[in-house]
Structures are given as structure tokens and as C-alpha cells.
Amino acid sequence: MEQFAETLRQENIGHVVINEPLSKHTTIKLGGPAELYVEPKDVESLIRLMDFIGTAGKEWFVIGRGSNLLIKDGGIKGVVINLAKGIQHLNYVDEERIVVGGGYPLIKLVTIISRKGLSGLEFAGGIPGSVGGAVYMNAGAHGSDMSNIVTRVHVLFSDGTMKWLTNKDMQFSYRTSRLQAERGIVVEVEMQLKKGDKDRIVQEMKKHKDYRRDTQPWNDPCCGSVFRNPLPDHSGALIEKAGLKGKKMGGVMISSMHGNFIINVDKDKAKAQDVLDLIAFIKQTIKEKYNIELETEVEIVGETPVS
């Protein structure tokens, strides 16, 4: 991998590091090392990187801003590509349509768009992560989600081809998209917004942002909502009803603010395995008490350390 890393450095692909701790790049501050960690400096560099990866036959995995992600303590083999540094362009196609890079921070985008009097993203006020990640999992809240505003997604596939996928092509459904079944990188996203009353739009965005701040532990290291909601039930309510809020394992704990969040309460001690153990405990408890099978929403990746 050293030789491959040196090749990428010589080709000026971007920031390249061997054995980078991924705990530095996840919102829960957990995760083992990346065998090779790369921050491509722009879209062209990303395309060239994928060409090098394909030629060398390396495994790869993409991260954005590290939310909705749990990386196991053994880290990730192959190349970890972080889009959050270099793929952050924002272009205005016309008065109501934008194209935004996959690594662009969603919270920043929501704020900018709302202040321009463009409606459609208010629901995402306070949702962390990148635009690409939000599209990948069809992030949503308050009765709306990304599928309502995304018109096209520019995807770089593992064979090096790039293609614009329409909203229909993306096969959006509750917290899922086509890209969870077919590997590809969200390079940029086209969104159709709507001009409206700026003050009302900003107020709506801030209302959702304040609600999230007041009801969810975003000041604590966490990975976001751990479980999908088994509609019409809600995971957080079920976990609270079961008396599990505040339950601790190792260095992590179920938030006392919201049952569907696991927080890192001891950065020196906590392991990703603690989160996995707590997830298993929650699933077993909810199954026994309510005969409901909880499914994880957080993406769990990486290697289990050899003991």
C-alpha cells in the first residue's frame, strides 16, 4: 500500500495518509484506521483516483462528514475516500435549481439556500452530514426527505463510468436509495427548489433546527439515529418505554435526551464494539418486550479486530 500511496502523491491526487485513524473523521469519534486514506482535491482528482484504484484492484469505501456511520475497531481495508474536503462546489443553474458537490455540508447548504429565499430544504435544518450522504440514505425529517427535491444525481461508478441518474433511477424509498444496492459515488446533486418568502423559509428552517437541538444530543459525539422507525411506531419512543435511556456499555450510553441515539461518553475508553454490543442489547430487549424487530439506520462497516 505504501507504493500505491506514493503513486497517488506523485500524481497530486490530494491528501494521502497510511493508517489514518477514522475516529478523527466520524461524528461519534470512533473507528479503527483506514489502510489508506485519501482526500481528493477536486472532482477530476476523484475520477483519476478511482481509475488508479480500479487498475490496482484495491477495495474502496467513501465517507463524507462521518455521520450516520459506525466504523468497527479493526478499521477499513483498502482505500477510504473522504469527499468532505474537495468536492464542495455549489452552482446555481437558474433561480430555482442548484447543483451541489457530494461533499458539501448539508447544514451549510440549508442555511445558505434558506437565506436566499429558496424553499424545499427547510426540513433538513440541523441534519448533519454531507449532501452525498443525505442522498445515499434519502435523509428526511418532518414529513419530507431528499427525494422530494432531488431531480438528478451525478454518480461515479466503480468501473470508472459517470452517469446522471434521474430521481426515478435513484429508486428512493424510506431511508434508502439505489446506491445502497449498487456501488457508486455521489459526485454532485441537482435539486429543484422553489422561490418563496425568505423570512418564512428561514423561520421554518430555524424551527426544525431548534427542535433538533432541543430534543437530540447533537453536542455529544454520536452517529445520529441508530434505528429506523418501525412505523407507525418510533424507535426512540420504544426504547424509552422499555426503560433503556441512560443504559451504558463500556464507554458509550443510550442518550438520556433521546432513546434512538447512542453517545460516546468516554473518548479514551469507548470502542465501536461497545456500540455494537449496545445495539444488540436494545434489539433483543425490544423484541422480547414488544415483538418488534428493530433495524439499524446507521451504516456499520469495517473489520472486527483479531483478538
Report the CATH number at residue 10. 3.30.43.10
From 45, 225, 235, 255, active-site residue: 225
Residues 211 and 94 in one domain: yes
In the chain, the amino acid numbered 216 is Q
Residues 59 and 96 in one domain: no
> Looking at the domain assignment, is residue 229 inside a domain?
no
**302 within 8 A of 74, measured Cβ to Cβ:** yes
Q: Indicate the residue among 82, 99, 127 that finishes a domain.
A: 82
Given a cut of 80, is residue 306 above it in pLDDT?
no
From 20, 122, 188, 297, active-site residue: 297
pLDDT tens digit sequence for 282-304: 999 999 999 999 999 999 999 99
Mean pLDDT of the chain: 95
Residue 38: strand pairing partners: 16, 81
What average pLDDT score do residues 205-212 get?
89
Rounded distance, CA 294 to CA 307, Å? 29
**150 within 8 A of 136, measured Cβ to Cβ:** no
**128 within 8 A of 28, measured Cβ to Cβ:** no
DSSP annotation string for 16-81 = EEEEEEGGGGSTT----EEEEEEEESSHHHHHHHHHHHHHHT--EEEESSS-SEEE-TT-EEEEEE
What average pLDDT score do residues 77-102 get?
95
Residues 183 and 290 in one domain: no
Rounded distance, CA 119 to CA 191, Å? 11
pLDDT tens digit sequence for 43-87: 999 999 999 999 999 999 999 999 999 999 999 999 999 999 899
The single residue listed with the C-alpha cell 429543484 is 192
Burial of 277-290, coded b for 16+ CB within 10 Å and e otherwise, reads ebbeebbebbeeee
Count the Cβ atoms, other than its own, within 10 Å of residue 187: 21
Active-site residue flag, 225: yes
Rounded distance, CA 164 to CA 190, Å? 9
> Looking at the domain assignment, is residue 220 inside a domain?
no
pLDDT tens digit sequence for 4-45: 999 999 999 999 999 999 999 999 999 999 999 999 999 999
The tally of domains found in the chain comes to 3
> What integer pLDDT is reported at residue 307 of this predicted model?
62
| Parent domain of 264 | 235-301
> Looking at the domain assignment, is residue 77 inside a domain?
yes
Residues 65 and 119 in one domain: no
> Looking at the domain assignment, is residue 169 inside a domain?
yes
Residues 211 and 264 in one domain: no
From 175, 177, 188, 235, active-site residue: 175
> Looking at the domain assignment, is residue 190 inside a domain?
yes
The strand order across the sheet containing 150-157 reads 90-92, 97-101, 184-192, 150-157, 162-166
Q: Indicate the residue among 153, 183, 215 that finishes a domain.
A: 215
Select from 111, 127, 123 the least CA-distant residue to 198.
111
